[in-house]
Amino acid sequence: MQKNPPEGTDAKPAPARILVADDSVVVRAIVRHGLAQAGHKIDEAANGAEALRLLEAHSYDAVVTDLRMPEVDGFGVLSAIKERGLDTEVIILTASCKDDMRSAVRALRLGAHDYLTKPLASAEEMVMTVERAVEKKRLSEANKRLIRELAALSRTDTLTGLANRRAFEEALRGEVMRARRYRVPLSLLMLDLDHFKKVNDTYGHPGGDAVLRDFAAIIRGVFRDTDAAFRYGGEEFAVLLPHSTAEHAERAAERLLAEVRRARIQVGSTTLKVTCSIGIADLRAGDGDAQEMLRRADAALYRAKAAGRDRAKVFVPAEASQRAAAGVTGRVESARAGLRSPA
Ligand code: GH3
Ligand code: MG
Ligand code: MG
């Protein structure tokens, strides 16, 4: 009689797909029978070469393999699985004599999950060993998925769904390096919503958030897939245009400005119109680094604001020295402070 497992551990695992490789028909039949009874789906291979062919065509949660087989042996199967980086756990079938046990231990060292000795003591034990391997494989898959999701989350702005500042800084460094190495142009757009504080003051934070979301959607719509759009922070956005000169970036910026002017943003029962200002900087023949590019785009944005907003300005080298001479330093922060309308 089978005893009931303790509470909480009796959840049946989802059916697994398992490959059994052994040159003995009898052994294969025993393994297949036990696993099929437990609800799993089994494929069989009569030797290592056949197992490798099946591994090419299908993905298995676990492989139960004999060590001694003609053509390709169990070690061959194991090393192929590891070399190909397959997400499948390997269980070795081995005789219990001293030599074979030594081989089994070697297989464990090479990354096999476990071993079973022949003749199999009980079908239950065999099924349990295989199910433990399947569980391990599924947990490791779930872990990898989680890590990927967390990595994506840490680079995404939750309000707009755009990539965030962290992602921007990485992308900017990467693109600047590429532009310098291959001597290709690169453009950067810094966007800042005009008088956004008024939106917040008039419609509250939720109103401001609605504008930010819609604005992000407009940016996405205007730029090609290869252009990367980011929320830099607050109501500031950035767009990287690889392989683009400032002239090209300026045309893109004008398209965006037109779209923003045309847009009607719904905030509760009110329909809003907003505008933004854009600063454009480019690198040609690698004449600057990431910091320099940001500084240039900021300087240009400052000029767009000062010239009346709702426009794009391309960085002109002269203004950097002019600003330096006037004692203006730092990023847009200082520019913004100067632009803030008196309360
Ligand atoms: P300017 O045309 O000079 O850019 O004027 P502005 O009012 O847009 O400029 P400023 O930088 O002084 O103000 C930006 C405001 O953006 C301040 C803050 O209230 C608002 N803000 C920043 N982040 C968020 C956000 O995540 N949500 C909302 N709703 N508002 C934000
Ligand atoms: Mg701002
Ligand atoms: Mg603003």
Closest residue by Cα to atom 31, ligand 1, is 234
C-alpha span between 197 and 204 (Å, rounded): 10
Residue matched to tokens 């004692």 = 327
C-alpha span between 116 and 203 (Å, rounded): 69
C-beta separation of 216 from 205 below 8 A: no
> Considering every ligand atom, which ligand is closest to the CA of 305?
1
Answer yes or no: is pLDDT of 10 > 90. no
Q: What is the pLDDT of residues 120-147, one digit of tens each?
A: 889 999 999 999 999 999 999 999 999 9
Cite the beta strand spans of the chain per DSSP E: 17-21, 41-45, 62-66, 89-95, 114-118, 186-193, 228-233, 236-242, 265-267, 270-272, 276-283, 312-314
- Report which ligand 1 atom has the smallest distance to the Cα of 198: 7
Residue that wins the pLDDT comparison between 325 and 226: 226
Q: What is the pLDDT of residue 71?
A: 85
C-alpha distances in Å from residue 198, one per residue of 48, 219, 235: 72, 21, 12
Please choose from 157, 190, 197 the residue to mutate so as to test ligand 1's pocket, defined by most ligand atoms within 8 A of CB: 197
Retrieve residue 3's tokens. 């005893």
Mean pLDDT of 77-92: 95
Residue that wins the pLDDT comparison between 8 and 248: 248
Would the CB of 279 count as within 6 Å of ligand 1? no
Would the CB of 193 count as within 6 Å of ligand 1? yes
Would the CB of 157 count as within 6 Å of ligand 1? no
> Considering every ligand atom, which ligand is closest to the CA of 304?
1
Q: What is the pLDDT of residues 145-188, one digit of tens each?
A: 999 999 999 999 999 999 999 999 999 999 999 999 998 999 99
Q: Which helix (H) or strand (E) holds 47?
A: none
Q: What is the pLDDT of residues 19-73, one digit of tens each?
A: 999 999 999 999 999 999 999 999 999 999 999 999 999 999 999 999 999 889 9
Query: β-pairing, 265-267 with 89-95?
Result: unpaired
